[in-house]
Chain A
């Protein structure tokens, strides 16, 4: 890569960085996406009893 193309590359990286920050896009996903059905959302206490949260699968510590 010559200096010219590398300069363009650096500019693209800087712009991409700005775009990611502006959109608040984390490159390393730290969350899992779930869509809660409307039936759950509409039912009183539905959020508490809905079984598909998945959780962290915690099995305890020490």
Chain B
């Protein structure tokens, strides 16, 4: 795997080995002096400070694999942002190539130098969250802009390190899951390192993975430097801890704990710290609790968040007004801007709310250097039951994907006593309960309406529509006309009586009685036939109708006569000598069809109204109340 050049430490004479083909420096394990290799010559570069204790389980000589190639860890850099220290391991591969293996938040990042990469953007052109295009890589998003100071190192290294030297860098992600570092060094040339995140198991380093959910006995039992009270750290990569006894916020990233301030905590975590459970298939442990707030137009909105850790890394549970969200970090490059929102995993998210959010209360432990009162810019985008959340600082933008869960889900997952507090209002990513019922309801309504229309067409086509009487009725006031008897045959059916008279500027009323001769059962209908027109205020008007019709329901088989008694108001108009009256048997009735249509659409219409009302309530507290959110 390595070329293996054995030598002796120029400082103490102890054996010194340059195992990697690219190794330029090595630290003597005995005297801690660094030696730099220039050709076959070694020169002493000075004593290296002791390593800072970290919780890594990797070590020099650890072997792993990446994309089918094996590697060996030959050395490491210890870097720091402020007080926090992390390790970047120098990995030598069998094909003489090399890369860095970094550990962060329970994950591994393997990157390789891209020699000769040209057209890389200058540092001053970058901002967290911005999209860039890199040669040979394509689209990437800047996740973090920061600087790191070299604290210590050990073993072999492919660089000539100087303790105290500061590097500026930009960490980026790609939408294919890639991870990039643009290393701007201390102001010199930029070097691109490209690779991806890899799990410990995939890298053949399962035994070196940080414990996902350590047992209570494996947690570090320590004492608070402020009050002496017992504190227990559950995670090895914890950087900040809020003492439950005195409220002291401790920086625990270095060897010695430092008190950063005293916090006031008035709130009780909805799930006690240290509680373990399984939510959405992930085994989790509650590590920290935050109260955060955002002030919009002078109104403060506060919500609570729980930091969790599980097999998949860090997770969050957020609760506002009894509405819970389960969040996990995602790569920024997989979030694509679209209009005022974003697209993630082919799902479109609309902007909901944004603003500077403040940490008001802090309890428990955190993997970053959290500070009370610290403010980050937050923006939430929703596509229920999902939510995208971005949090930005001047140096970093991170994205999380949230999923709406119920209080009952949370209570069950962590086996909490009692019942969860009742949710108030509508949660920002709460699924609309009417949405999943609406589509089937409208589909069914559409199918039923289609069936009704088809049936109606068949009924219209098959209706007998048989004229059983046609009668000319003299329009002489007081003169009653009786028809000859006529037969209505067949099953009970509707009978339509129509009347027509070409009246002009006059009015005719017809009292019509359909009389069953044998029983005397009669149905009475009345028609008004009129036609008036004129001009008023320069506008022409017309009213009335020369035609009238009425339907008589369920007329039984039998012999009938029709009695017609006219009333006439002629005035200055014209009234014809007769009105024409017809009786038609077996007509199609539109009223049952209309009622059926109303009944069928009533339910999906109600669901639609309730869906709209639900969405209106969801958006009323957003930056885009319903009227403008569309």
Q: Which residues of A contact B (CB under 8 A)?
A: 1-3, 6-7, 9-11, 13-14, 16-18, 20-38, 40-41, 47-48, 53-58, 60-62
A53 contacts B554, C-beta separation under 8 Å: no
User: Which residues from B are CB-within-8-Å of A38?
Assistant: 520
Contact of B569 with A13 in the complex, beta carbons under 8 Å: no
B437 touches A17 (CB 8 A): no
- A52 CA to B432 CA, complexed, in Å: 61
Stretch at the interface among B57-65, B254-262, B587-595: B587-595
Query: B520 near A36 (CB under 8 angstroms)?
Result: yes
- Taken together as a complex, chains A and B put the C-alpha atoms of A32 and B515 apart, in Å, by 12
A59 to B53, CA, bound (A): 107
A48 to chain B, nearest CB (A): 4
- Count A-B contacts at CB 8 Å: 165
Tell me how far the C-beta of B581 lies from the nearest C-beta in chain A, rounded to whole angstroms. Answer: 14
B492 at the interface (CB under 8 A from A): yes
Given contact pairs A41-B517, A55-B565, A62-B569, A1 touches B554 in the complex (Cβ within 8 A): no
Q: Does B299 contact A (CB under 8 A)?
A: no
| 9 tightest Cβ-Cβ pairs between the two chains A and B | A56-B526, A61-B507, A24-B494, A58-B509, A24-B493, A55-B511, A36-B520, A20-B592, A31-B523
Of A28, A35, A58, the most chain B CB neighbours within 10 A belong to A58
- A and B contact pairs by CB, cutoff 8 A, 26 listed: A6-B441, A13-B599, A14-B452, A17-B593, A21-B592, A23-B491, A25-B553, A26-B589, A26-B591, A26-B592, A27-B589, A27-B595, A32-B524, A32-B525, A34-B523, A37-B520, A38-B520, A40-B520, A48-B563, A53-B524, A55-B565, A56-B510, A56-B528, A60-B567, A61-B506, A61-B507
Q: How far is the CB of A49 from chain B (nearest CB, A)?
A: 8
In the complex, which residues of chain A have a beta carbon less than 8 angstroms from the beta carbon of B441?
A: 3, 6
Which of B507, B525, B591 is within 8 Å of A60, CB to CB?
Answer: B507
Assess whether A34 is in contact with B524, with CB atoms less than 8 Å apart.
yes
Asked if A31 and B571 make an inter-chain contact with CB atoms under 8 angstroms apart, the answer reads no
B596 touches A33 (CB 8 A): no
Contacting residues of chain B (566-596) with chain A, CB-CB under 8 angstroms:
567, 569, 571, 586-589, 591-593, 595-596
Task: Add 8 more A-B contacts to A31-B550, A60-B567 (CB < 8 A).
Answer: A3-B440, A23-B491, A24-B555, A32-B523, A36-B521, A47-B482, A48-B482, A53-B513
Report the Cα distance A49→B521, complex, angstroms: 17
Complex formed: what's the CA distance from A48 to B481 in Å?
Answer: 8
Asked, given contacts A10-B448, A36-B515, whether A1 binds B603 with beta carbons under 8 Å apart, the answer is yes
Interface residue B530 (Cβ < 8 Å from any Cβ of A)? yes
Q: What CA separation (Å) do A28 and B520 show in the bound complex?
A: 23
Q: Which residues of A lie under 8 Å from residue B440 when comparing CB positions?
A: 3
Q: Cβ of A30: which chain B residues have Cβ within 8 Å of it?
A: 525, 550-552
Contact at A18–B528, with CB atoms within 8 Å?
Answer: no
Taken residue by residue from 444 to 486, chain B's Cβ proximity to chain A (1 for < 8 Å, 0 otherwise) reads as 1101100110010001000000000000000000001010000
CA distance A34 to B495 in the complex (A): 17
Instruction: Decide: A53 near B563, CB < 8 A? Known: A41-B517, A48-B482, A60-B507.
Output: yes
